């Protein structure tokens, strides 16, 4: 039996967890930063760190991984965890660290809550606020209390959900195990197959077999997961609360069951109504008319287009399928380049040339370098002098790699509080294109935030609005902004809206992407990469774009080099 070593995401997650404990204990900030940086590098690294270690490769050659961190990584790969983390987990109540999901709460405030008031969970914190016990504590005034109370109440009531990117490594490992043990007699379905940005559980459709329960129990033992057996299904329950629901099916009903367990409730209701109306069949899911047919054959027999899983949400997809008008959704292979990339000039881990070489491996025709502007001091943002030095380096690199790849000159410039930009027009006009982004003052009113972004869009040098709603999934809600106005103004001004592929952003969401497509606004699917491995997140942007009904022609970085160069030259 194959051993299933930790994925890069699992290794990175443990290093981030260790950094959190060290920060909580007031450890050396440089040590904490080292673990956080290593986690970020590993998370975005192209090759499997576990495979490199098993092959005896020297992983200390990877930027950010020193001898001490290498030792920790090897322990994770060999044992699946870290003894140091286990000690911290036993030492501190884990509920206290859930507070990191509440906007405005950092480690320092958590330490105060724990040490002064013995708060060990979000519920404890809410009780403390309701009793008015925090008003005299610095950082917990009356205004902050109201903000924290609202966020806590929302957090406590919400359904437990998990980001797609967080569950994906677990799903991939389980798929690998099942393929080795059970062949191809299964498929992951539900919201995961529809590539939703967050999921509450993982549904796996699996063909019946006398040995299936033993195979699943063996995996549960291997990964130290709870195994539960119910009448028609099995459940694997992770310590995080994530559940893998294994649903029984058989060969003959495989195709219709895939449709049933993939679609949303709304899609399935509409699908049933459609089949009942057209074929007079009321009992769809168990009807023999659909037996021994794959999904494609069932759609074809119903004389409708095949509907990609990502858009089986019960909107207008069935009506369009009847008209044979389902759009040809974008594929990752359609991307010709990436237009949002950071380097060592600001807060990136790799040089411009290193990012260029990584992009060439992916077959990109072009990339755009868009380091931060001076307002973002925490990211070592560029002032005019350093930006001009970077532009000279890009000229040299373009000469060196002429005919192989083109590097466009860009910037991610901050949108200031009043909608003006962090750099002058005289410097912005030297660039091929400009991404303008909000990185501060998230608490403006909807009217003021909308006005702020619209003013930035009016600047003739602004090409793209970066991560337009500013959300961080599960951590920070979108700022208040009238996105319909923003999308319409993008059409008026010729601005492009970004779909930021970072899995904690995925900004724009599917609803706004569909609105942009319908209005005629172009989108850029960007990685916001801060390292060579950062290009890997583009797949999440593609998933989101497909959920937003985007086609190749809706996305500017599907344009070949000559077309994107012309697009930038023409401006808005």
Query: What is 499-546 written as a DSSP string?
Result: EE--TTT-BS-HHHHHHHHHHT--EEEE--BSSGGGGGGHHHHHHHHH
98 and 175 in a single domain? The answer is no
Q: How many helices (H) and strands (E) in the chain? A: 23, 15
439 and 533 in a single domain? The answer is yes
84 and 100 in a single domain? The answer is no
**Percent residues over pLDDT 90 in the chain:** 59
Residue 74 makes CB contacts below 8 A (sequence gap 6+) with 53
Quote the CA–CA distance of 566 and 258 in Å, as a whole number. Answer: 45
Which one is predicted more confidently, 217 or 545? Answer: 545
The reported pLDDT for the residue numbered 2 is: 43
62 alpha carbon, distance to own chain's centre: 24
CATH number, position 343: 3.20.20.140
Residue 3 included in any domain: no
Angle at which helices 212-223 and 164-182 pack, to 10 degrees? 130
**Percent residues over pLDDT 70 in the chain:** 98
Quote the CA–CA distance of 527 and 15 in Å, as a whole number. Answer: 23
64 and 113 in a single domain? The answer is no
Residue 496 included in any domain: yes
Chosen domain end from 91, 109, 141: 91
317 and 275 in a single domain? The answer is yes
Q: Please determine, for residue 158, whether its predicted confidence score (pLDDT) is greater than 80.
A: no
Chosen domain end from 256, 291, 322: 322
Residue 1 included in any domain: no
pLDDT band, residue 1 (cuts 50/70/90): very low
507 and 566 in a single domain? The answer is yes
- Do residues 539 and 502 touch, judged by C-beta distance below 8 A? no
For the purposes of burial, counting CB atoms within 10 Å of the CB of 111, is it exposed (0-12), middle (13-18) or buried (19 or more)? Answer: middle
Number of domains within the chain:
4
173 and 148 in a single domain? The answer is no
Q: Please determine, for residue 232, whether its predicted confidence score (pLDDT) is greater than 70.
A: no
100 and 86 in a single domain? The answer is no
Question: How many other C-beta atoms are found inside a 10 Å radius of the C-beta of residue 3?
Answer: 7
Residue 23 included in any domain: yes
Residue range 85-98: mean pLDDT, rounded:
87
For 20-30, what is each residue's pLDDT tens digit? 999 999 999 89
283 and 362 in a single domain? The answer is no
Chosen domain end from 91, 114, 138: 91
Tokens linked to 406:
């083109």
pLDDT band, residue 433 (cuts 50/70/90): very high
Q: Which domain holds residue 17?
A: 8-91
- Do residues 396 and 369 touch, judged by C-beta distance below 8 A? no
CATH number, position 181: 3.30.460.10
For 464-487, what is each residue's pLDDT tens digit? 999 999 999 988 889 999 999 999
45 and 120 in a single domain? The answer is no
- Do residues 63 and 41 touch, judged by C-beta distance below 8 A? yes
For residue 249, the cross-strand partners are: 207
Tokens linked to 312:
């089986």
For the purposes of burial, counting CB atoms within 10 Å of the CB of 541, is it exposed (0-12), middle (13-18) or buried (19 or more)? Answer: buried
Quote the CA–CA distance of 309 and 114 in Å, as a whole number. Answer: 45
CATH number, position 78: 1.10.150.110
Q: Give per-residue burial for 448-487: e unless 16+ CB within 10 Å, then b.
A: bbbbbbbbbbebebbbbbbbbbbbebbebebbbbbbeebb
- Do residues 435 and 370 touch, judged by C-beta distance below 8 A? yes
Question: How many other C-beta atoms are found inside a 10 Å radius of the C-beta of residue 572?
Answer: 14
Nearest 5 degrees, angle CA 500-CA 334-CA 360?
A: 80
80 and 173 in a single domain? The answer is no
The pTM of the full predicted model, rounded to 2 decimals, is: 0.84
Name the strand (E) or helix (H) holding 497: strand 496-500
């Amino acid at each position: 039996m194959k051993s299933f070593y930790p994925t890069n995401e699992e290794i990175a997650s443990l290093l981030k967890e260790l950094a959190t404990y060290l920060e909580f204990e007031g450890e050396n900030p440089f040590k904490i930063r080292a673990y956080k940086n290593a986690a970020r590098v590993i998370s975005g690294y192209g090759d499997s760190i576990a495979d490199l270690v098993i092959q005896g490769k020297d992983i200390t050659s990877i930027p950010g991984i020193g001898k001490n961190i290498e030792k920790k990584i090897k322990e994770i790969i060999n044992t699946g965890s870290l003894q140091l983390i286990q000690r911290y987990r036993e030492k501190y109540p884990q509920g206290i660290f859930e507070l990191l999901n509440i906007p405005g709460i950092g480690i320092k405030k958590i330490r105060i809550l724990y040490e002064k008031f013995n708060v060990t969970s979000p519920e404890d914190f809410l009780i403390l606020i309701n009793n008015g016990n925090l008003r005299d504590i610095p950082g917990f005034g009356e205004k902050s209390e109201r903000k924290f109370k609202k966020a806590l109440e929302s957090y406590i009531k919400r359904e437990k959900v998990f980001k797609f990117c967080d569950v994906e490594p677990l799903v991939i490992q389980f798929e690998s195990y099942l393929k080795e043990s059970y062949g191809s007699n299964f498929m992951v379905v539900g919201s995961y197959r529809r590539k939703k940005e967050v999921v509450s559980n993982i549904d796996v459709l699996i063909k019946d077999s006398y040995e299936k329960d033993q195979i699943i129990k063996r995996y549960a033992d291997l990964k130290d997961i709870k195994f539960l057996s119910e009448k028609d299904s099995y459940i694997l329950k992770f310590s995080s609360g994530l559940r893998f629901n294994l649903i029984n099916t058989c060969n003959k009903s495989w195709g219709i069951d895939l449709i049933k367990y993939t679609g949303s409730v709304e899609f399935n209701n509409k699908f049933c109504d459609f089949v009942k109306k057209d074929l007079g069949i009321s009992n769809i899911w168990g009807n023999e008319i659909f037996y021994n047919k794959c999904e494609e054959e069932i759609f074809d027999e119903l004389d409708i287009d095949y509907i990609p899983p990502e858009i089986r949400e019960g909107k207008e997809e069935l009506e369009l399928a009847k008209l044979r008008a389902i759009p040809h959704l974008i594929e990752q292979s359609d991307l010709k380049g990436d237009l949002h990339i950071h380097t060592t000039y600001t807060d990136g881990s790799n040089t411009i040339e290193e990012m260029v070489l990584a992009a060439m491996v992916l077959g990109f025709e072009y990339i755009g370098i868009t380091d931060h502007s001076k307002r973002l001091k925490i990211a070592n943002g560029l002032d005019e002098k350093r930006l001009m030095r970077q532009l000279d380096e890009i000229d040299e690199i373009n000469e060196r790699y002429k005919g192989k790849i083109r590097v466009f000159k860009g910037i991610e410039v901050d949108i200031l509080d009043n909608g003006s930009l962090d750099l002058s027009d005289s410097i912005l006009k030297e660039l091929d294109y400009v991404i303008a982004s909000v990185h501060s003052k998230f608490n403006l009113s909807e009217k003021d935030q909308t006005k702020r972004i619209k003013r930035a869009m009016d600047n003739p040098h602004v090409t793209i609005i970066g991560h337009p709603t500013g959300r961080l999934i599960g951590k920070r809600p979108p700022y208040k902004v009238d996105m319909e106005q923003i999308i319409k103004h993008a059409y008026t001004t010729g601005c492009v809206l970004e779909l930021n592929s970072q899995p904690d952003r995925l900004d724009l969401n599917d609803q706004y992407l569909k609105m942009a497509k319908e209005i005629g606004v172009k989108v850029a699917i960007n990685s916001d990469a801060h390292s060579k491995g950062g290009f890997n997140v583009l797949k999440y942007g593609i998933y989101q774009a497909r959920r937003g009904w985007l086609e190749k022609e809706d996305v500017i970085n599907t344009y070949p080099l000559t077309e994107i160069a012309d697009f930038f030259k023409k401006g808005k």
